[in-house]
C-alpha cells in the first residue's frame, strides 16, 4: 500500500494530481470520477465580466498547442452561486484561480471568494498590471509580492502564486511570492509564443501571441519548476507538459510537491486518473511506500574533474 498523500502547508491532498487552471470544467464530471483527484483547480475568474479574446483562439503545433483565450469570466457571483455548490458535491479541495487589473482588486476578489467550500486561492499573475503600463504582475518581483500580500491580508485561505515562465529569473519572482506570504507556488503558466499561417500571412491566433502548452514544453517548464523549488522553502506545484506519470515523477524529483495536468486533459479525459494509477504502480515497483519521498529526490551527477579521471 502506497501513501499517495502530499501536504501543501496544512492542506493534505490524497494524491499529488490536480488539473491546471483553465483545463478543467464541470463537464469533466460526466466523464471521470472527480473524487479521485488530489484537488480541483477552476478556470481563472476576474471581478468584472469578460468575454475573452477574439477567435481564432487555438492553433495546433507539434506536440503542443498555441492558446490565446484571454480570461473569459462570468465573475464572482456566478462562481459563488454555481461553481462552489457544484464542487461541494465532490471531496477534493477546491482551488479558485483569480486574476485582476490591480493589486487592490486581487485582494478584494480573494476576500469575496473566501467562503466555505473553497480551500485555496491561486493567483494568476500572468496578466497585465494596468497600473504599470500593462506589464504582467508575474514579470515584476515587487508587483508579485504586492499581489500576494494584498491577498493574504484579505483571506485566511491558502494563497498560491501561479508564476509566469516569461521572465529572466524565475527564482527572483519565486522568492518575491514567498516574501509576500504565498503558501505555495505553481510553476508555471504557459510560455509566450506565436505562429503565422504562411498561406494567409495571418497570425494563427487572432491575439497574435498566445501561450504554448502541451508535451513539447515540458523540458523548459520542468527546468523552471526546479529553479523555483531551489529558490524557496514553500511547496512548489509543478505544471507544464505533464501528460503521464513519468512526467509527474520528473517534476516530483525536481522538487515539486504536487503536479497540475493541463493540456493533456483536452487530449484525454483519462489523463489525470491514469497519472494517479501509474504513479502508484511506479511506487509499488520501486518499493516506495510514501510518494512524498520522491519530492526533491533527484540525484545530481557528481562533479568529477577531468584530471581526476586519470586516476581511475
Partner 1 sequence: MTNSVPIPLQPAPSTAASSCGGHCADFTIAENLCQVLSNEWVNAEYKHLVLKAPPIALAVLPGQFFHLNCPPSGNDVPYLRRPMSLYRVSPQDCTIEFLYKVQGAGTRGLATLEPGATLDAFGPVGQGFTLPPQARHVLVLARGVGLATMAPLAQHAVQRGARVTAILSARSPALVMSEQYLRSVGADVIVVHDQDGSSDIAHIEKLVRERHAQLPFDLLTTCGSNRFLLALQRLGQELDVPAQVALEQLMGCALGMCFACVRPFRKSPGSETMSYRRVCWDGPVFDAQETVTW
* Enzyme catalytic residues: 127
23 is a site residue for partner 1 (CB under 8 A): yes
If you search the block for the grid coordinates 500580500, which residue do you land on?
149
Q: What nine digits make up the cell of 247?
A: 512526467
Sign for the pseudo-dihedral over CA of 60, 65, 68, 73:
positive
60 is a site residue for partner 1 (CB under 8 A): yes
**Contact criterion met (CB below 8 Å) for 42 and 196:** no
**In terms of CB distance, is 188 or 213 closer to partner 1?**
213
Query: CA of 31: how far to CAs of 16, 26, 41, in Å?
Result: 20, 10, 17
**Contact criterion met (CB below 8 Å) for 206 and 53:** yes
Kind and range of the H or E run holding 160? strand 158-162
**In terms of CB distance, is 115 or 208 closer to partner 1?**
208
Region near partner 1 per CB under 8 A, out of 49-57, 78-86, 145-153, 195-203: 49-57
- Mapped onto helix, strand or coil, the DSSP state of residue 254 is coil
Region near partner 1 per CB under 8 A, out of 27-35, 188-196, 221-229, 295-303: 27-35
Q: Which of 12, 35, 91, 142 binds partner 1 (CB under 8 A)?
A: 35
Q: What nine digits make up the cell of 67?
A: 492558446
**In terms of CB distance, is 5 or 269 closer to partner 1?**
269
187 is a site residue for partner 1 (CB under 8 A): no
| Among candidate residues 168, 167, 75, 83, the one with its CA nearest the CA of residue 125 | 167
Within 61-120, which residues bind partner 1 (CB under 8 A)? Answer: 61-65, 67, 69, 72
**Contact criterion met (CB below 8 Å) for 19 and 41:** yes
Kindly state the number of chain residues that form the binding site for partner 1, as judged by CB under 8 A.
37
**Contact criterion met (CB below 8 Å) for 18 and 35:** no
If you search the block for the grid coordinates 504562411, which residue do you land on?
198
171 is a site residue for partner 1 (CB under 8 A): no
- Mapped onto helix, strand or coil, the DSSP state of residue 87 is helix
In a 10 Å sphere around its CB, with 0-12 CB exposed, 13-18 middle and 19+ buried, how is residue 166 labelled?
Answer: middle
266 is a site residue for partner 1 (CB under 8 A): yes
214 is a site residue for partner 1 (CB under 8 A): yes
196 is a site residue for partner 1 (CB under 8 A): no
**In terms of CB distance, is 22 or 165 closer to partner 1?**
22
| Among candidate residues 139, 137, 133, the one with its CA nearest the CA of residue 149 | 137
Region near partner 1 per CB under 8 A, out of 80-88, 141-149, 259-267, 294-302: 259-267
**In terms of CB distance, is 42 or 144 closer to partner 1?**
42
Q: Which of 2, 5, 9, 56 binds partner 1 (CB under 8 A)?
A: 56
22 is a site residue for partner 1 (CB under 8 A): yes
State in angstroms the smallest separation of the CB of 215 from partner 1. Answer: 8
State in angstroms the smallest separation of the CB of 17 from partner 1. Answer: 17
Q: Which of 2, 9, 57, 220 binds partner 1 (CB under 8 A)?
A: 57
Q: Which residues of 3-38 are buried (b: 16+ CB within 10 A; e: fewer)?
A: ebebebeebebbbbbbbbbbbbeeebeeebebebbb
**In terms of CB distance, is 238 or 241 closer to partner 1?**
241
For partner 1, the binding residues (CB under 8 A) are 22-33, 35, 43, 51-52, 55-58, 60-65, 67, 69, 72, 214-215, 265-270
Amino acid at each position: 500500500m502506497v501513501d499517495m498523500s502530499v501536504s501543501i502547508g496544512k492542506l493534505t491532498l490524497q494524491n499529488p494530481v490536480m488539473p491546471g487552471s483553465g483545463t478543467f470544467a464541470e463537464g469533466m464530471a460526466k466523464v471521470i470520477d472527480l473524487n479521485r483527484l488530489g484537488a480541483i483547480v477552476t478556470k481563472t475568474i476576474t471581478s468584472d465580466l469578460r468575454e475573452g479574446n477574439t477567435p481564432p483562439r487555438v492553433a495546433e503545433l507539434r506536440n503542443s498547442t498555441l492558446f490565446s483565450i484571454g480570461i473569459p469570466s462570468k465573475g464572482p457571483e456566478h462562481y459563488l452561486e454555481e461553481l462552489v455548490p457544484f464542487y461541494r458535491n465532490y471531496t477534493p479541495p477546491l482551488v479558485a484561480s483569480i486574476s485582476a487589473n490591480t493589486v487592490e482588486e486581487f485582494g478584494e476578489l480573494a476576500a469575496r471568494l473566501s467562503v466555505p467550500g473553497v480551500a485555496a486561492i491561486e493567483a494568476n499573475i500572468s496578466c497585465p498590471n494596468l497600473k504599470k503600463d500593462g506589464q504582467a504582475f508575474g514579470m515584476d518581483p515587487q508587483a508579485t509580492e504586492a499581489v500576494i500580500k494584498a491577498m493574504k491580508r484579505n483571506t485566511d485561505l491558502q494563497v498560491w502564486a501561479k508564476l509566469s515562465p516569461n521572465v529572466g529569473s524565475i527564482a527572483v519572482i519565486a522568492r518575491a511570492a514567498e516574501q509576500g506570504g504565498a503558501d505555495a507556488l505553481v510553476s508555471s503558466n504557459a510560455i509566450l509564443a506565436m505562429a503565422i499561417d504562411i498561406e494567409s500571412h495571418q497570425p494563427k491566433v487572432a491575439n497574435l501571441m498566445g501561450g504554448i502548452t502541451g508535451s513539447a514544453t515540458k523540458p523548459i517548464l520542468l527546468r523552471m519548476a526546479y529553479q523555483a523549488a531551489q529558490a524557496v522553502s514553500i511547496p512548489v506545484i509543478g505544471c507544464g507538459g505533464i501528460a503521464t506519470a513519468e512526467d509527474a515523477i520528473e517534476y516530483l524529483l525536481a522538487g515539486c510537491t504536487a503536479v497540475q495536468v493541463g493540456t493533456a486533459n483536452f487530449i484525454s479525459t483519462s489523463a489525470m486518473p491514469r497519472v494517479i494509477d501509474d504513479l502508484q504502480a511506479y511506487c509499488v515497483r520501486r518499493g516506495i511506500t510514501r510518494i512524498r519521498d520522491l519530492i526533491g529526490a533527484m540525484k545530481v551527477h557528481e562533479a568529477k574533474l577531468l584530471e581526476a579521471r586519470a586516476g581511475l
